[in-house]
Amino acid sequence: MGLTLLFATQLPKIKTDTDPKNMLPVTSPVRQYNDQVESWFALHPDMIALGVRNEEGIFDAQTLRCIATTTEAILKIQGVAAQDVIGLVTVDDVTAEGDLLSTQPLLGDIPATPEQLAAFQQRLLANPWVAPPRCTW
């Protein structure tokens, strides 16, 4: 009984580390590369990536509305750094026409008609910052 109490007194000193990166040795090439990428892009250590999948593609009003609603809910979570949330709703679409530089939300109003959805898809996929051209060899 005394031994059990002795061990029980040590329970508050136990630390749980759930960061998978810390499960790799510091000398691991994977961990070293991960550290390098984090420093290049100034990534926050508590970053979460969220993806949306639709078998038909994301270019329909219902899926875009889901993305917008989810993003807005994430922005309301206490502790979320709003300026670091990157998504269709939070990113600006910057375009240049001649000497004029203009910005608008990448996804402002949800496109309602098939023509608006097609125009949004074309604008999104034509933007090299959002959808970089694929390399062909």
Domain positions in the chain = 61-126
∠ CA 96-37-68, nearest 5°, is: 55
Query: What's the pLDDT tens digit per position in 37-93?
Result: 888 877 777 777 788 888 888 889 999 999 999 999 999 999 888 888 888 889 888
Query: What's the pLDDT tens digit per position in 106-120?
Result: 888 999 999 999 999
Please name the helix (run of DSSP H) or strand (run of DSSP E) that holds residue 93, with its range, or none.
strand 92-97
